Amino acid sequence: MSPSNDTATLRLGDQSIDLPLRTGSEGERALDIRALRRATGLITYDPGLVNTGACESSITFTDGERGILRFRGYDVEDLVDHCEFIEVAYLLVHGWLPNAAQKASFSRLLNQNALIHEDMIHFFSHYPERAHPMAVLSAMVVSLSSFYPELGENRQEDIDLTVTRLLSKLRTVAAFSYKKSLGEPIVYPRHDMKYCQNFLNMMFSSPVVRDPVNPVLVDALNKLLILHADHEQNCSSSVVRAVGSADANLYASISAGICALWGPLHGGANQHVIEMLQQIQADGGHVDRAIARAKDRNDPYRLMGFGHRIYKSYDPRARVAKRICRDVTAALDRHDPLLDIAMELEAAALADPYFQERNLYPNVDFYTGLTYRQMGIPTDMLTVMFAIGRLPGWIAQWLELRSEDEFRIMRPRQIYVGPPQRTVKPLGERS
Ligand code: CMC
């Protein structure tokens, strides 16, 4: 983003201040208020940071009105159609798509770093059987910081090693935690398998089941993880940046991002979509009742997988996810009654003035959860899948933050509305 010649003038009584406008590489304009408080004593008030640009970034571009999502300039659909997930991970972290040699070296590093320290495997045994896999994932990621060195010098080799270590081990932790939750022996990663195939093998093979991983599932997983790979300053990425801005290490920052992603309004929505559809099914499949509840102001019920802060048209990720979902269903020749309910619900919502007036469309979580379900991923693991996909984005955001000239701790202000100053009464005199 470069400063432009334009300024906006703010008038406060007889005082006026010129605030520069800045323009991004896709023409997005922003008011630069860095001088505001110093010049006027004012701060801005923007709950939910709906109008606030917290940083400049060259990673991801979104245009919510036109339904555009690009990573480093490439349309997400183009990447889904032509790349594997690890190429997109490389793109986000490094800024360019790898050539054949770079991809081979990245794959090699991912394989070399796939195991987790054997002592960490004992941790899984001490979680309650019903522990949510996102709690386990977040705890295991922050624990990695006690087993592996922090990113020190920011030298390229350190970055490559730390990045591949995290990308590779997150996948291993996720699969191990699933196996432990089943009470089955863990399946170790294999050097002869690529990233997505390796994950599915760790999830679904066992000493008694050694079926080869279905290439349809490998392809679908590559595509779904790409859809999740980054989404500019969303809640969890902002958390990763906020924690990183306190100079916390990468593992701690990512662990915090995992916790943020878990929330049902964010990545946790994919689990809640499935639970909502199951509830509709259990209630006889009446999508109209779900729509009526979602519209009722006195009912906190929302259509999960619908609506988005940025997208005021169809979420481009949801469009691709719907296509992948149909392809997987056809290739596996499976019928999922929840998919029928989902499509009926989508059609009913899109035809309803409440959803039309508010520009509420399916978001990424509406069809991705259904696709993972077809692939055999259990419902409480769905947000873990989102986390595996989002990891390269979080890492890229963290690295970008650390390379900023203006690297400063993130520390918003507030408008205090509590009681004015008062004095402490002795204990016996308090009402
Ligand atoms: N169902 C019913 N009404 C909705 C929904 C929904 N899913 N989403 C928004 N609305 C209504 C909302 O009640 C409000 O109505 P009114 O103007 O009458 O008060 C209006 O639409 C604007 O909503 P908002 O809550 O101000 O929008 P937001 O930008 O603050 O929230 C959201 C965005 C995603 C949190 C919200 O749409 C939502 O809760 N969706 C359901 C949860 C979900 O699917 N989350 C996944 C998001 S995509 C994955 C990710 O990147 O995080």
**Residue 363, ligand 1, Cβ within 6 A:** yes
Q: Which helix (H) or strand (E) holds 346?
A: helix 337-350
Q: Which residue has the tokens 């245009």?
A: 63
Q: Which CATH class is domain 2-63?
A: mainly beta
Does residue 366 contact residue 373 with C-beta atoms inside 8 Å? Answer: no
Q: What is the pLDDT of residues 62-119, one digit of tens each?
A: 999 999 999 999 999 999 999 999 999 999 999 999 999 999 999 999 999 999 999 9
Tokens of 196: 């997505």
Q: If you take atom 34 of ligand 1, which residue's CA is the nearest one?
A: 308
pLDDT given at position 152:
67
Beta strands (DSSP E) in 308-416 are none
- Pocket-testing residue among 52, 296, 363, ligand 1, by greatest number of atoms within 8 A of Cβ: 363
Please report, as a single letter, which amino acid is at residue 410.
M
pLDDT given at position 211:
86
Q: Per CATH, the architecture of 285-375 is what?
A: Orthogonal Bundle (1.10)
Q: If you take atom 37 of ligand 1, which residue's CA is the nearest one?
A: 307
Q: If you take atom 17 of ligand 1, which residue's CA is the nearest one?
A: 358
CA of 306 to the centre of ligand 1 (A): 7
CA of 308 to the centre of ligand 1 (A): 6
pLDDT given at position 271:
98
Break the chain into its structural domains and give their ranges: 2-63, 75-266+386-403, 285-375
pLDDT given at position 149:
81
Residues 6+ away with beta carbon under 8 Å from 321: 224, 227, 364, 366, 367, 368, 371
**Residue 305, ligand 1, Cβ within 6 A:** yes
pLDDT given at position 3:
52
**Residue 355, ligand 1, Cβ within 6 A:** no
Q: If you take atom 31 of ligand 1, which residue's CA is the nearest one?
A: 309
Tokens of 160: 């490559």
Atom of ligand 1 nearest to the CA of 273: 44
**Nearest partner of 176 among 222, 225, 228, 115, judged by Cα:** 115
pLDDT given at position 103:
97
Tokens of 127: 């979680």
Tokens of 371: 């696709």
Please state, in angstroms and rounded to a whole number, the distance separating the CA atoms of residues 326 and 314. 17
**Is there a shared CATH topology between the 2-63 domain and the 285-375 domain?**
no
Atom of ligand 1 nearest to the CA of 236: 52
Atom of ligand 1 nearest to the CA of 386: 49
Could you say which of 2.30.40.10, 1.10.580.10, 1.10.3720.10, 3.40.190.10 is the CATH number of the domain covering 75-266+386-403?
A: 1.10.580.10
Spans in the chain with pLDDT lower than 70: 1-5, 152-154
Please state, in angstroms and rounded to a whole number, the distance separating the CA atoms of residues 390 and 240. 11
H helical segments located in 58-132? 76-82, 85-94, 100-112, 118-125
Please state, in angstroms and rounded to a whole number, the distance separating the CA atoms of residues 4 and 280. 52
Atom of ligand 1 nearest to the CA of 261: 52
Q: If you take atom 8 of ligand 1, which residue's CA is the nearest one?
A: 307
CA of 358 to the centre of ligand 1 (A): 9
Instruction: Show which residues are catalytic.
Output: 308, 365
